[in-house]
């Protein structure tokens, strides 16, 4: 089972859940592209109603860090 499938299983048990997937992303998505704004809006309003997650569809994969200097060229 892949990681998004686990999120689906958890969301099934939470009545107010919204399972969001960032294509090509991993657990470090919280600091990528539009996600910090989405998190801030979610916290400020106390829920996900009305949030526009479409920006995730245009967000490319985060480059893989090869060492402490960051992603490769």
Average pLDDT of adjacent 10-residue blocks, the chain of 73 residues? 86 93 82 92 95 90 79 71
Distance of CA 13 to the CA centre of its chain: 20
CA distance 73 to 66: 10
Q: Is the pTM for the entire model greater than 0.85?
A: no
The pLDDT of residue 40 = 97
Strands 65-67 and 70-71: antiparallel
The pLDDT of residue 67 = 81
The pLDDT of residue 23 = 85
Residue where the block lists tokens 């998004």: 4
The pLDDT of residue 10 = 93
Other CB atoms within a 10 A radius of the CB of residue 38 amount to 19
The pLDDT of residue 32 = 84
CA distance 63 to 25: 9
């Amino acid at each position: 089972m892949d990681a998004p499938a686990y999120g689906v299983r958890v969301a099934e048990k939470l009545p107010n859940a919204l399972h969001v997937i960032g294509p090509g992303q991993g657990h470090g998505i919280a600091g990528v592209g539009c996600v910090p704004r989405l998190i801030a809006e979610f916290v400020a309003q106390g829920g996900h109603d009305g949030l526009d997650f479409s920006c995730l569809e245009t967000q490319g994969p985060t480059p893989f860090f090869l060492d402490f200097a960051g992603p490769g060229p």
